[in-house]
Amino acid sequence: MALLEVEKLHRRFGGLHAVNDVSFQVEPGQIKAVIGPNGAGKTTLFNLISGALAPSSGAVRFHDQEIQGRQPHEIAARGMARTYQNIKMFAGMTALENVMVGRHIQGRAGFLASMFHAPWTWPEEKAIRDRSMALLELLEIADCAHTPATSLAFGQQRAVELARALAMEPSLLLLDEPAAGLNIYETAEVGRLITKIRGLGVTVLLVEHDMSLVMDISDEIVVLCFGQKIAEDLPPAIQQNSEVIKIYLGE
């Protein structure tokens, strides 16, 4: 049974078919990549899956339930986490606090309990802090825990963003260009972290431009071009696919 099923997904912006009749599945435990030239509809596809956008037609099934058109926070509560191409750190908060926000859905404390600092919220608060700290350690940035997140180096912010997403205990993690803006060393580092994350039992779906990263870590690759799926195969087969070579290199 697939963890995520995308079926005939379609999104129009006026006359533009940004995502056109795209179907594929993500199996549990996989690292699956979506590649394609600029403007292929990769980020739109992510926004449709995570609920930031509603599809014009088609279905998204997650854990066998239809989630298309639902609010992002509802989809998040079902175990889907995501990162962004342009890292969205919460400004004015430390790296640790950023990760602690990721544990929002695991917490129960509401307005009144928080205002009165109710004793029953203390263990919950401690668990949130401990788990967030452990994730920063896992991603090897525990030293930066108390630094304001937006003053960290770009690569470190990526790691904080990953820790924040993992704090949600997701079953599926969507990564939107995790290597964007990173140099080759940092990219290799991110690749290593992603395989480490898969090792925790988290399924990963990523959009990426960096071919070496995609070929290194993916189990399967979907190729999009002008909103349509033109290929879906294992990495070696994608490298040999004449149509894929054509759209990337020209004839």
Partner 1 sequence: MKRLLAILPLLGVVVLVQLLATWTGTQFYLTQMTMAAYYSLLIIGLCVLMGYAGQISLGHAGFFAIGGYLSAALTTLNLVPHRAEWLVRFLNGCGLLAAGTDLYGGKILVVLPWAAAILAVLTAAGVAVLIGIPVLKLKGHYLAMATLGFGIIIYRLVLATSWFGQADGISGVPPFVLLPGLTVSGNVSGRVQNYYIAWGVLVFGLFLLLNLMNSRIGRALRAIHGSEEAADAMGVNISRFKLQTFVLSAVFAAIAGVLLTHFNGGIGPSEAGVMKSVRYVAIVAVGGMANLWGALVMGVLLNFLSLRGVFGSYDDAVFGLILILIMLFAPDGILSLVSRKKRQVPLPEAPQDEEA
Beta carbon of residue 34, minimum distance to partner 1 (angstroms, whole number): 16
Beta carbon of residue 33, minimum distance to partner 1 (angstroms, whole number): 16
> How many C-beta neighbours within 10 Å does residue 38 have?
6
213-217: long-range contacts at Cβ-Cβ below 8 A with a sequence spacing of 24 or more?
Answer: 213/179, 213/187, 213/188, 214/33, 214/35, 215/239, 216/191, 217/31, 217/33, 217/191
208-227 footprint of partner 1 as x/- string (CB under 8 A): -x------------------
Could you tell me the two tokens for 234?
């294992």
Residues that contact partner 1, how many (by CB under 8 A):
51
Looking at the Cβ atoms of 14 and 108, the one nearer to partner 1 is: 108
Under the binding rule (CB under 8 A), the answer on residue 88 touching partner 1 is yes
15-54 footprint of partner 1 as x/- string (CB under 8 A): -----------------------------------x-x--
Which of 168, 225, 238, 244 binds partner 1 (CB under 8 A)? It is 168
Backbone φ and ψ for 62, nearest 5 degrees, come out as -125, 125
Under the binding rule (CB under 8 A), the answer on residue 125 touching partner 1 is yes
Under the binding rule (CB under 8 A), the answer on residue 188 touching partner 1 is no
Q: Decide if 80 contacts 174 (C-beta within 8 A).
A: yes
